[in-house]
Chain A
Amino acid sequence: MRTIEQTTDEILALAAQHFKVPRASLSANDDFFKKLGIDSLQALEMLTRIENHFSIELPDYEMQGVSDFKTLAGRIQARL
């Protein structure tokens, strides 16, 4: 079982790879919409990437109101 820290770290790595930004430029408390400058469709891409990586389903309504990696990690952790 992953720890929340491990889950957060994997999300940050996935986001960095998907949006082609340096991993070191992202941190857990970042607002990913602002930090990555992404729109709703790109957010869905990230959600798909996360679901595939963790082999989970995260209904998109659970993303509503979530804008930082740390909270997102908590949502994912609850489904692992």
Chain B
Amino acid sequence: MNSFTGNSLSWTVRDSVVELELHRAPANEIGTEMLGELEQFANALDTFSREASAVIIHSTLPAGFSAGADLRELYRTALPLDTAARLAGIREFLHRVHAVMNAIDDSPLTTIAAVNGVCFGGGFELALACDLIIADKMARFCFPELRLGLIPGFGGIPRLKRDLGNAVVRDLLLTGRSMNAQKGGAVGLASQVTGEGEALRVARATAAQVTRFDRATSAAAKRFLKPIPHEELRREIDLFCELFTRPAVMEGLRKFVESTDALPYLP
């Protein structure tokens, strides 16, 4: 499928580059609808690999790349369920998310996240599934999950640890602080930091460069360099589910959903 237009995202294939744009207001929160469309995208990756060399994932929303999981939907879905049903539901959701993230991570295409604004939680984890992150200088990266009594559940910890090491994960995870693009560039998270509003343009230039190389060679290099940490990803799902059953989590979600504070995103 050379193009797709959904409620949460759209994609086009042009000049050997797939562009996936996220456009679910207000901030590309990842709920069941976006996940369903991401699954369609993941299913199309095999087809793309026959006609394209690179993928760019970006947001058309000024708020940013993605604020992460749709916590309001998560809370409202879980609220009427008993503990066992909640656990079964979240485990199934996480398995679906991980399948998408693994498909992007494992794709033979060179994948680029062009990041603007907030890149939090599950959105950050989507960017981490990509091979390269190109960050607008106004971008911010954050794992806010500990504020809710959870850990990131979309594969972020194993991937960030794989790419940057345990110390960076501890800094972001255990403090819940957000990191700006300059710092992200300094620690190697962002391969390039651009001027404001320039991330997509730079990502397109980078993708054009990628298309000059033999696809099979690029894919072989990626396979060699970027093993998927399957065992840690499985353990992450188990730990997330274990934490999710605690009453403190639903209470944390309730507070977030009902919050009228000016700074609900801050610890």
A-side residues, CB < 8 A to B, are: 33, 38-41, 43-45, 48-49, 51-52, 55, 57, 59-61, 63-64, 67
Contacts and interface: CB of A to CB of B under 8 A. Distances in A.
Most chain A CB within 10 A, of B67, B139, B263, B264, is at B263
Nearest to A63: B266
A51 B178 CA distance: 12
Main secondary structure of the interface of A (DSSP, over half): helix
B261 to A, nearest CB: 8
Most chain A CB within 10 A, of B118, B139, B183, is at B118
Interface of B: 27, 63-64, 67, 117-118, 137-140, 142, 175-178, 180-183, 261-267
29 contacts: A33-B262, A38-B262, A39-B262, A40-B261, A40-B262, A40-B264, A41-B27, A41-B117, A41-B118, A41-B265, A43-B263, A43-B266, A44-B178, A45-B138, A48-B137, A48-B140, A48-B181, A49-B138, A51-B180, A51-B182, A52-B180, A57-B183, A60-B142, A60-B177, A60-B265, A60-B266, A60-B267, A61-B175, A61-B176
Contacts of A41: 27, 63-64, 67, 117-118, 265
A48 B180 contact: yes
Main secondary structure of the interface of B (DSSP, over half): loop
Given A33-B262, A48-B139, 16 more contacts: A40-B264, A40-B265, A41-B118, A44-B118, A45-B117, A48-B140, A48-B180, A51-B180, A52-B182, A55-B182, A59-B177, A60-B177, A60-B178, A61-B177, A61-B267, A64-B266
Nearest to A65: B263
Nearest to B67: A41
A2 to B, nearest CB: 19
B180 to A, nearest CB: 5
B178 to A, nearest CB: 5
